[in-house]
């Protein structure tokens, strides 16, 4: 993340420096035609780029042209982005009938072939810097309008916009305070790309001889060079500089645009983040063990400039034997979901991981990125969180389940579908032979969860990783999914959940996490009968079925996310000075707890 | 009755403009008294959120009447509608998306005051944060630097600044753990006792709704039971 960010910033700075320098040069240089020298002089000390057939110094001409070329590029890009952004914003925000009118107009302009339109309009309007900028802007705005329109459509439905609206915010306020600022990066990226396109279009017009003869540009220099037979006469110094300048500046603005649009696409998961680098967070311990899953000293932290790199998961050790069911419960943001993603090597970009993970005795850190990708579905089946977006809405359910069989087992289309059908009936999807050709929106929440489970189980992985499998389901559907997961007798399940009823029903071991550390580990029965750690007690007492008792309210400073003390010490009723030192995970009455106190 | 909806109908089209529409709400009646807490449960896709948006005065029903203190919301002019809709507020399920990602908490929390034409000073904001048991140190942070529980509390502090009469809670704790959920619901209860606002809690967690609400309705087939 960091180097990428640096490259982006450097490129943008470079692009703006170039613009500044060229504009500066244009002001500093003599704007009038230069003294006439001998025509077609080759480059020497006095004329660094030689002269053309009229005896003009090419370097001076280049600097003068730079000013015009860039002005046309910047001017038309400004006009195009301004028009496009206004049209996109107004159409996207106000919707029908303004939307229909503006977007159909955009479609019509998009349909007209750009280059012929530019040529016809330039010929009609005649030469001139302002004319050129206008003609180019007229053809360039619809692309920006489309992109901004799509973004505004999404933004106007965002809860923060709806919230502001319900507080009495008017359209102008929403547009200028919420919508446009959230389009800023997109607009910058579009502007950089439009400058590149506009400069190229201007070069094209001028090269065809439709440019302004009074104001030379890089394109018209090329035109002059070709008309003056520079190529035949071997006058490379006349042709090369404008060609290099056009391609260099267009390329630079394009790169800047792409980097900027990359910056707007936020946290995409890195295929392999800085995985298993043993440095930074804590030291690595190498202990291959006989259990199915074995995690040693796992640390995950995010390197960001705004917050200090505190571990999100801190020195976690965990062993899960074959057939065991483990439920990880705990506070929101305590690193539970990240733990699952770390096991799959799918942490978001910017995550730093250290420690070791062994699945069936194989050390995941030994896998290369491509080997990890091939093995991902095989060593662990992942049931992702979120019923709404975990399935692809444009593919049938059957296709999505069959995909795994095709990728991992090399089945052909029919074989994979047959296998998908048997996986779907195994998870109890009603009428699987009919449902197989349904799309996700045809299914209820419970059915979608079954499909996700069928997907994870289809390659019979030794380990199932489930992230909140009952979230968003009503009671009966949640109970069915609970039974289904419990019934996976031979499977090893590691489930992350907020649903304490599910955690209890799973019946295996409970792991309680708080601020990245495990504070209690115990068998489910014993844990729900008598939780020991003060945080676990508060968590259990707060269940609606137990009367939502609040043992201790919010502490104004919240949970302590630091590496030195007990994370619960601010809110804990029995905390004392000793709790400023992080307690070790110790055995106490059959549980493992991270607390200094006698909590019996 | 100070918030009342009568025979509210809302339908959505599943596809393009010519596709058949599905009635999500089909003649819903509901009346709220000040200080009352009602619960609305129902399966996923039953239209709970749609009903919430209609109760909060954000979504206009296809037909039917939404009235606040006897005034028909959607038959009134824009000024009256704006002043009524300030009295009806909503807390969403995903707290992180109810904050503009570019804004600091200071800016977000000041928004209701600015929209009412007042520039709040720091002590007022700190008081509002203290009410939801948060430290004013978080004012300079951005939403991505805070936890779900903290953001949800700030969201509550923000709408309470408008002194709402009805607060729709649309699965306000679905993303949170049991402890944070209990603390937030208890906090809401304390605020309700002080302000006498009416709450509409939308959730499919029947245990929680039973515990928190005085009256419970189930939404199924577009009608309230």
Query: Which pLDDT score, from 0 to 100, does residue A408 have?
Result: 80
A212 touches A110 (CB < 8 A): no
Structure-model confidence comparison of residues A395 and A332, the more confident one:
A395
| Percentage of chain B exceeding pLDDT 70 | 97
| Percentage of chain A exceeding pLDDT 90 | 16
Asked if the model's pLDDT at residue A522 lies above 50, the reply is yes
Lowest-confidence pick of A455-464, B166-175, B192-201: A455-464
Residues of A within 8 A of B135 (CB-CB) are 556-558
A329 touches A543 (CB < 8 A): no
Query: Which pLDDT score, from 0 to 100, does residue A444 have?
Result: 78
Residues of A within 8 A of B181 (CB-CB) are 542, 544, 548
Average pLDDT, chain A: 82
Structure-model confidence comparison of residues A159 and B19, the more confident one:
A159
For A47-264, CATH gives 1.10.3720.10
> What is the Cα–Cα distance from A576 to A597, expressed in whole angstroms?
9
For residue range B131-149, list pLDDT tens digits in order.
888 888 889 888 888 888 8
Query: Which pLDDT score, from 0 to 100, does residue A272 have?
Result: 43
Q: List CB contacts of A403: < 8 A, sequence separation 6 or more.
A: A416
* A547 Cα to chain B: minimum distance (Å): 7
Tell me the residues of chain B between 157 and 176 that have a Cβ less than 8 Å away from chain A. 158-159, 162, 174-176
Task: Say if B17 is an interface residue toward chain A (CB within 8 Å).
Answer: no
pLDDT-derived band at B201 (thresholds 50, 70, 90) equals very high
Of A5-14, A268-277, A449-458, the range with the highest mean pLDDT is A449-458
A556 closest CB neighbour out of B99, B133, B174: B133
If phi > 0 it is left, if psi is from -120 to 50 it is alpha, else beta; for residue A374 that is alpha
> What is the Cα–Cα distance from A507 to A500, expressed in whole angstroms?
11
Strands A492-496 and A463-467: parallel
Q: Do B183 and A181 touch (CB under 8 A)?
A: no
Asked if the model's pLDDT at residue A492 lies above 80, the reply is yes
Based on C-alpha coordinates, what's the Rg of chain B?
Answer: 18
pLDDT-derived band at A588 (thresholds 50, 70, 90) equals confident
For range A563-584, the mean pLDDT: 86
Alpha helices (runs of H) in A156-282, residue ranges in sequence order: 159-166, 171-173, 184-207, 218-227, 230-233, 236-264
For residue range B27-40, list pLDDT tens digits in order.
999 999 998 999 99
For residue range A532-562, list pLDDT tens digits in order.
999 999 888 888 877 777 776 666 666 666 7
What kind and span of H or E run contains A533?
none
Residues of A within 8 A of B94 (CB-CB) are 159
Tell the burial category of A305 from Cβ atoms under 10 Å away from its Cβ (0-12, 13-18, 19+): exposed
Asked if the model's pLDDT at residue A29 lies above 70, the reply is no
Q: What is the DSSP string of A210-231?
A: -S-SSS--HHHHHHHHHHTTHH
> What is the Cα–Cα distance from A226 to A4, expressed in whole angstroms?
41
Asked if the model's pLDDT at residue A148 lies above 80, the reply is yes
B200 touches B167 (CB < 8 A): yes
- CATH class of domain segment(s) B3-13+23-95+146-224: alpha beta
Residues of A within 8 A of B58 (CB-CB) are 162, 165-166
Q: List CB contacts of B199: < 8 A, sequence separation 6 or more.
A: B36, B37, B38, B166, B167, B168, B169, B188, B192, B213
Indicate which of B168, B179, B188 best probes the interface with A, i.e. most A CBs within 10 Å of its own CB. Answer: B179
Cis amide linkage into residue A97, ω under 30° from 0:
yes
pLDDT-derived band at A457 (thresholds 50, 70, 90) equals confident
B182 touches A542 (CB < 8 A): yes
Biggest alpha carbon–alpha carbon distance for chain A: 101
Query: Which pLDDT score, from 0 to 100, does residue A276 have?
Result: 44
For residue range A85-97, list pLDDT tens digits in order.
999 999 999 877 8
Task: Please state the domain extents for chain A.
Answer: 47-264
Task: Please state the domain extents for chain B.
Answer: 3-13+23-95+146-224
For range A209-218, the mean pLDDT: 82
- In chain A, the residue whose alpha carbon lies closest to the alpha carbon of B56 is A166
For range A461-469, the mean pLDDT: 87
Alpha helices (runs of H) in B61-205, residue ranges in sequence order: 78-87, 105-115, 122-131, 148-160, 178-195
B200 touches B55 (CB < 8 A): yes
Give the end-to-end CA distance of chain A in Å, rounded to a whole number.
47
């Amino acid at each position: 993340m960091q180097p990428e960010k640096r490259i982006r910033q450097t490129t943008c700075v470079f692009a703006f420096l170039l613009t500044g320098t060229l504009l500066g040069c244009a002001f500093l240089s003599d704007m009038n035609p230069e003294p006439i020298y001998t025509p077609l002089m080759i480059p020497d000390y006095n004329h660094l780029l030689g002269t053309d057939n009229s005896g003009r110094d090419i370097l001076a001409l280049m600097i003068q042209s730079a000013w015009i070329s860039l002005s046309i590029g910047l001017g038309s890009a400004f006009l195009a982005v301004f028009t496009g952004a206004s049209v996109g914003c107004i159409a996207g925000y106000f919707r029908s009938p303004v939307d229909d009118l503006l977007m159909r107009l955009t479609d019509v302009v998009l349909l007209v072939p750009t280059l012929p339109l530019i040529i016809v309009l330039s010929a009609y309007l005649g030469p001139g810097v302002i004319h050129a900028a206008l003609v180019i802007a007229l053809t360039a705005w619809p692309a920006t309008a489309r992109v901004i329109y799509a973004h505004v459509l999404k933004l106007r439905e965002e809860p923060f916009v709806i919230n502001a609206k319900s507080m009495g915010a008017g359209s102008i306020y929403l547009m200028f305070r919420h919508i446009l600022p959230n389009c800023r990066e997109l607009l910058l990226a579009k502007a950089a790309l439009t400058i590149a396109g506009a400069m190229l279009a201007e070069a094209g017009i001028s090269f065809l001889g439709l440019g302004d003869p009074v104001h030379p540009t890089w394109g018209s220099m090329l035109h002059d060079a070709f008309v003056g037979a520079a190529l035949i006469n071997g006058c490379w110094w006349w042709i090369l500089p404008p060609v290099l300048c056009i391609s260099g500046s267009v390329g630079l603005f394009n790169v800047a645009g792409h980097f900027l649009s990359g910056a707007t696409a936020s946290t995409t998961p890195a295929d392999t983040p800085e995985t298993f680098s043993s440095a930074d967070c804590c030291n690595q311990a190498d202990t291959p063990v006989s259990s199915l899953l074995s995690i040693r000293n796992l640390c995950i932290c995010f390197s960001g400039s705004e917050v200090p790199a505190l571990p999100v998961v801190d020195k976690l050790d965990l062993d899960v034997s074959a057939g065991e069911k483990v439920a990880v419960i705990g506070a929101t943001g305590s690193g539970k979901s990240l733990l699952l993603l770390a096991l799959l090597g799918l942490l978001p970009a910017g995550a730093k991981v250290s420690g070791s993970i062994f699945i069936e005795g194989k050390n995941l850190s030994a896998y290369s990125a491509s080997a990890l990708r091939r093995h991902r579905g095989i060593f662990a089946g992942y049931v992702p969180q979120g019923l709404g977006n975990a399935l692809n809405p444009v593919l049938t359910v059957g296709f999505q389940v069959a995909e795994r069989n095709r990728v991992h087992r090399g089945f052909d289309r029919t074989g994979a579908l047959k296998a998908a059908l048997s996986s779907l009936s195994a998870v109890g999807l009603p009428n699987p032979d009919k449902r197989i050709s349904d799309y996700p929106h045809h299914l209820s929440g419970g059915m979608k969860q079954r499909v996700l489970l069928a997907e994870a189980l289809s390659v019979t992985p030794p380990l199932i990783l489930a992230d909140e499998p009952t979230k968003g389901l009503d009671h009966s559907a949640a109970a069915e999914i609970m039974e289904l997961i419990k019934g996976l007798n031979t499977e090893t399940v590691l489930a992350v959940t907020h649903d304490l009823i599910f955690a209890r029903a799973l019946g295996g071991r409970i792991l309680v996490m708080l601020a990245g550390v495990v504070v209690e580990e115990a068998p489910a029965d014993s844990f729900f009968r008598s939780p020991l750690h003060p945080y676990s007690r508060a968590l259990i007492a707060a269940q609606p079925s137990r009367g939502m008792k609040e043992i201790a309210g919010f502490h104004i400073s919240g949970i302590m996310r630091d590496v030195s003390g007990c994370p619960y010490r601010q809110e804990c009723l029995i905390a004392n000075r000793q709790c400023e030192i992080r307690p070790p995970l110790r055995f106490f009455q059959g549980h493992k707890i991270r607390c200094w106190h006698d909590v019996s | 009755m100070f918030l009342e909806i009568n025979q509210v109908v809302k339908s959505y089209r599943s596809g393009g403009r010519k596709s058949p529409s599905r009635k999500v709400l089909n003649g819903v009646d509901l009346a709220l008294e000040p200080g009352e807490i009602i619960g609305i449960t129902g399966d996923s896709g039953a239209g709970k959120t749609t009903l919430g948006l209609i109760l909060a005065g954000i979504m206009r029903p296809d037909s039917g009447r939404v009235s606040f203190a006897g005034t028909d919301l959607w038959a009134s002019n824009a000024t009256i509608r704006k002043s009524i809709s300030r009295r009806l507020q909503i807390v969403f399920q995903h707290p992180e998306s109810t904050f503009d990602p570019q804004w600091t908490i200071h800016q977000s929390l000041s928004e209701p005051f600015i929209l009412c034409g007042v520039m709040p000073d720091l002590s007022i904001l700190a008081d509002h944060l203290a009410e939801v048991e948060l430290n004013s140190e978080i004012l300079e942070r951005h939403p991505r630097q805070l936890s779900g529980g903290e953001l949800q509390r700030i969201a509550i502090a923000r709408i309470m600044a408008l002194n709402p009469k009805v607060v729709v809670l649309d699965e306000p704790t679905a993303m949170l753990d049991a402890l944070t959920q209990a603390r937030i619901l208890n906090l809401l209860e304390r605020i309700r006792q002080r302000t006498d606002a009416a709450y509409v809690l939308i959730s499919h967690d029947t245990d929680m709704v039973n515990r928190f609400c005085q009256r419970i309705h189930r939404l199924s087939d577009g009608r309230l039971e």
